[in-house]
């Protein structure tokens, strides 16, 4: 059951990522898929930071590690968004 759920979620997320990059998909669908992906990433980063804040008194190293991981993931997400934006901008020219 766990494998099936993981497979379905991976398929949906992969489809959303590829759909946002494909210029053949209408813009409003790409924006919708992109906003869903961005919301999921923000939720994930918020959850990591929330766990770091909860455990900051008990284990400072874990808290700092989780905050650093969240910062790195945010940086990678922003770089990926920038790369996709530039690719889309070059196609429109």
The confidence score (pLDDT) of residue 48 equals: 87
Pull the structure tokens for residue 69. 């991981």
Please spell the DSSP secondary structure of 15-84, one letter per residue: HHHHHHH-TTS-HHHHHHHHHHHHHHHHHHHHHHHHHHHHTTTT-HHHHHHHHHHHHHHHHHHHHHHHHH
The confidence score (pLDDT) of residue 93 equals: 64
The confidence score (pLDDT) of residue 72 equals: 92
pLDDT averages per 10-residue partition of the chain, 93 residues: 83 83 83 85 87 86 89 88 80 68
């Amino acid at each position: 059951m766990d494998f099936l759920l993981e497979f379905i979620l991976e398929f949906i997320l992969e489809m959303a990522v590829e759909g946002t990059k494909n210029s053949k998909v209408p813009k409003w669908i790409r924006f919708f898929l992109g906003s869903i992906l961005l919301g999921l990433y923000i939720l994930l980063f918020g959850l990591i930071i929330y766990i770091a804040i909860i455990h900051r008194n008990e284990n400072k190293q874990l808290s700092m590690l989780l905050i650093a991981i969240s910062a790195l993931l945010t940086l990678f997400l922003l770089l990926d968004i920038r790369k996709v934006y530039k690719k889309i901008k070059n196609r429109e020219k």
